[in-house]
A and B are shown apart, each in its own frame.
Chain A
């Protein structure tokens, strides 16, 4: 037994923890009855990968095959996105979809059906999965794809590890000519401006905005839009970069060596950060070239940044509301958040494109993600926000959630009932895939 938690350090639990090297080893572990869940690199925020018994997938991390002509990569589910980038960026390939951290496993990327800055163009990660092998709780292995065992595939993508444990997957990488991004940053003075900016950014492959969730009144929703494209080889001007356009020189790695005391992040320090960050960007639009790490993964450069929230831990409240409800809804919700003064410095806004998956989070509309240190006040605020989000026909992201109740899940995920029934059928044996989260929101018993 040891203590274990996900990225938010909330909740922290005692669990029986073990990994496996082969499918056979995993099968023999599944012979022990009880509830189990896969645990990748612990980057979901809440309790999606927590259970009294946890199966670590990080050791199951081998590349299996790569086709240089098509970009099709087959690998075991414990491989990190960062390992894929390290190996394949120098060969001219990039991930089809990546979230804001590269420190997640492929299994986690599929189970949470993660999205990135290109969702409005390329959809979520699951849409790029060509096929995968999944071990069910009875030890059998199902090979599934959008056409083979399609029903099982459908509930596994975005299925939060409840249909089985993803063993390996095949998906397609995208061609790149350089390891750099042509980035444009635009300062927007308020919510209307940034939303206009998103509407006008549909042609960009990548777009996202950092939003100051402490600014109030006329400045509410002031933001910095960051949009980008993979840089073409002939667009590189720097001669040293031109020589090896796909190779990045090692950057400086910072770290947070210990948990900050809880008071380190307070309204004053957060406000100071937000004001500084906003004004660091001059008004108007600015073009520059940046490397893919700085563009996609700024926080990965700081080891253990979650420790700044101290022992109490934190959660990320990420919701999406449909585009029709967008402006009015976002204004009302943001107003409630700024009034509370509880938000912190990491708030991210993005306009999603269409998505028609079974259990996945994204839908055509606006998504906002904010970090909150855990507190009773924050928990009360989330309840209020839940009601608004549900009213507008939106929902919360399971990979970030640690506190939503079953009623909220039921109301906001249209396939909740069908999903619960499918999982119940798969979980009939003595061993069940189930997480603390799936129990809390009523997917599993």
Chain B
């Protein structure tokens, strides 16, 4: 049985991803800050598939704990999917540096800390999939969320470099950009239907992308084109837009 480690397993997206892997016969290691939220999920997965399910505490910003946490894993995972993230409050981040630090620590530094460890282990072993949920917000800085966006841009760039390093070593690195997703963060928001993915769609895209060893996955194809256009708007025009 193959095993997947899901980091930040309490989010809607992570839960959908966990269910998808379970339905494909994978064993699961669920790690989250709020362990009380992943216990019901673990029970659910056991009923679903009889899969091996472990739950564990994980704090993305407690960087020094990451090495030990990875060493304690048994078995070592065949794939790691990092779903944790923090949207943050852009307005507050302008004046409150703690908000900035938190946004960067979770979305960028935490990811880098974990993946440095995983990458070394997978490289030595010569196999494995490293998958991270990044964001279309990182494709170009916009006034409405450039702190979050720049942390995600950093993550996207890091993953691109990691992929470049590990491609020849049999290790697959995949960047996932979901676009709008119907989750608890957005449940009271008006979202454009055609641009909004359900968590289950993200989960299917993650699993299929892993099987096909894709590099960069946009959950909904339309986002690839939207971001392509947004990236190519000349800066003199872009800076005057209210995005």
Contact = CB atoms under 8 A, between A and B. Distances in A.
Given A22-B36, A86-B23, A62 B41 contact: yes
A1 B188 contact: yes
Given A22-B36, A22-B37, A17 B187 contact: yes
Contacts of B190: 2-3
A59 interface: yes
A62 B184 contact: no
B189 A87 contact: no
B47 A66 contact: yes
Interface residues of B, number: 18
B194 interface: yes
Interface string A1-34: 1110000000000001111011000000000000
B189 A2 contact: yes
A337 B43 CA distance: 51
A65 B43 CA distance: 8
Given A21-B37, A22-B37, A257-B194, A63 B187 contact: no
Given A3-B190, A257-B194, A59 B184 contact: yes
A64 interface: yes
A56 interface: yes
B194 A19 contact: no
Report which residue of B23, B36, B40 has the largest number of chain A beta carbons within 10 angstroms of its beta carbon: B40
A94 to B, nearest CB: 17
B188 A64 contact: no
Nearest to B41: A62
Given A21-B37, A22-B37, A2 B47 contact: no
A63 B43 contact: yes
Contacts of B10: 21
A397 B158 CA distance: 57
B45 to A, nearest CB: 8
Contact of B12 (A1, A22, A59, A66): A59
Contact of A63 (B48, B184, B188, B194): B48
A87 B48 contact: yes
Contacts of A64: 40, 43-44, 47
A7 B187 CA distance: 18
Contact of A62 (B44, B189, B194): B44
A18 B187 contact: yes
A64 B46 CA distance: 9
Given A86-B23, A87-B48, A257-B194, A62 B40 contact: yes
A257 B23 CA distance: 28
A19 B184 contact: yes
Nearest to A56: B187
A16 B188 CA distance: 7
**Chain B CB within 10 A, most for which of A2, A63, A65, A75:** A63
Contacts of B188: 1-2, 16-18
A49 to B, nearest CB: 15
Nearest to B49: A87
Nearest to A3: B190
Contact of B47 (A3, A16, A56, A63): A63
Interface in A285-303: none
Nearest to A61: B44
A365 to B, nearest CB: 39
B188 to A, nearest CB: 5
A87 B44 CA distance: 11
A64 B48 CA distance: 9
Interface in A41-71: 56, 59, 62-66
Contacts of B41: 62
Contacts of A16: 188
Nearest to A14: B190
Interface string B137-178: 000000000000000000000000000000000000000000
Nearest to A65: B47
A3 B47 CA distance: 36
A251 B63 CA distance: 46
B133 to A, nearest CB: 18
A19 B189 CA distance: 12
Contacts of A3: 190
B44 A19 contact: no
Nearest to A63: B47
A170 B194 CA distance: 36
A270 to B, nearest CB: 26
Interface string B183-199: 01001111000100000
B12 A63 contact: no
A86 B148 CA distance: 37
Most buried by B among A21, A64, A65, A75: A21
Interface in A328-361: none
A1 B49 CA distance: 38
Nearest to B184: A19
Nearest to A304: B193
A87 B36 CA distance: 24
B48 A19 contact: no
16 contacts: A1-B188, A2-B188, A2-B189, A18-B187, A19-B187, A21-B10, A21-B184, A59-B12, A62-B40, A62-B44, A63-B48, A64-B40, A65-B43, A65-B47, A75-B47, A76-B40
Interface of A: 1-3, 16-19, 21-22, 56, 59, 62-66, 75-76, 86-87, 257
8 A-B pairs with least C-beta separation? A62-B44, A63-B47, A63-B44, A62-B40, A2-B190, A17-B188, A66-B47, A87-B48
Given A62-B43, A62-B44, 7 more contacts: A1-B188, A3-B190, A22-B37, A63-B43, A66-B47, A87-B23, A257-B194
